[in-house]
Structure 1
Amino acid sequence: MAPLHQVVVVGASAAGVTTAETLRREGYTGRLTLVGDEKVLPYDRPPLSKQVLAGTWEPEKTLLRPDSAYVDHDIELKLGSAASGLDLAGRTVALSNGEEIAYDGLVIATGTTPRTLPFGHDLAGVHVLRTIDDALALRGDLLRSSFVVVVGAGFLGTEAAAAARRLGLDVTLVDPLPLPLVRQFGDQVASAIAELHEEHGVRLRTGSGVTALHGDIAVSGVELTDGTVLRADVVLVAIGATPTTAWLDGSGVPVDDGVVCDATCRAVDGVYAAGDVARWFNPHFGSPMRVEHRMNATEQGMAAARNLLGAQIPFAPVPYFWTDQFDAKIQAYGVFPADAEMVVAHGLLAERKFVAHYLAGGRVVGVLGWNMARQLRQDRQLISPATVA
Structure 2
Amino acid sequence: MARAAGVVVVGASIAGLTVVEELRSKGFGGPITLLESEDTAGYSRPLLSKGVLAGEGDPSTALLPAPEDLGVDVLRGTSARGLDLDRNLVELDGDALPFDKLVVATGARALTLHDLGANDDCVPEVVLRTMDDAVRLRDLLGSARTVLVVGGGVLGMEVASAASSKGLAVTVVDRGAPMARTGGAFLSRMVSACARERGVQLVSAPEGARLVERDSRPAVVAGGHLLEADVVVTAVGCRPNVEWLARTGLSLSPGVVVDNRCRVREHIAAAGDVVSVEGSRRQPHWSTALDQARVAADVLLYGDDASPYINRPYFWTDQFGLSVKFAGRPTSDDPELVDGSQDTLSGLWRWTDAGHPHAAVAINRRIPIARLLHTAGHS
TM-score by length of 1: 0.88
The residue number in structure 1 matching 2:329 is 335
TM alignment of 1:1-389, pairs within 5 A: 6-65=6-65, 69-95=66-92, 97-118=93-114, 119=119, 122-123=122-123, 126-177=125-176, 179-207=177-205, 209-219=208-218, 221-226=219-224, 228-281=225-278, 288-310=280-302, 311-336=305-330, 338=331, 342-360=335-353, 363-374=356-367, 378-384=371-377
Alpha-carbon separation, structure 2, partners of 1:312 and 1:91? 23
- Map of 1:284 onto structure 2: none
1:212 touches 1:223 (CA, 8 Å); kept in 2?
yes
Cα offsets for 1:70-109 (capped at 9, x unmatched): 33311111111222211111111112x3321111101111
Superimposed CA distance per residue, residues 280-311 of structure 1 (whole angstroms, 9 cap, x where no aligned partner): 25xxxxx9453211122122212211211114
Q: Partner letter of residue 292 of structure 2? A: Q
Q: How far, CA to CA, are the matches of 1:58 and 1:290 in structure 2? A: 31
RMSD: 2.3
Q: CA deviation at 1:360?
A: 4.0
Give distance in 2, aligned partners of 1:11 and 1:120.
31
Q: Which sections of structure 1, spanning at least 5 residues, go unmatched?
A: 282-286
d(CA) in 2 for partners of 1:102, 1:170: 53
* 1:57 CA drift (Å): 1.3
Number of equivalenced pairs: 369
Change (3 A) 1:379 1:275: closer
**Distance in 1 of aligned mates of 2:199 and 2:6:** 54
TM-score, normalization by structure 2: 0.90
- Residue 201 of structure 1: how far off its partner (Å): 1.4
> Are the counterparts in 2 of residues 123 and 215 from structure 1 also a CA contact under 8 Å?
no
1:9 and 1:109 in contact (8 A); partners too: yes
Q: Within 1, Cα distance between the matches of 2:121 and 2:142? A: 20
User: Unpaired segments of 5 or more residues in structure 2?
Assistant: none
Secondary structure of residue in 2 paired with 1:242? strand
Relative distance call for 1:378 and 1:42 in structure 2 (3 A) is closer
For residue 164 of structure 2, give the secondary structure of its aligned residue in structure 1: helix
Partner SS, residue 374 of structure 1: coil
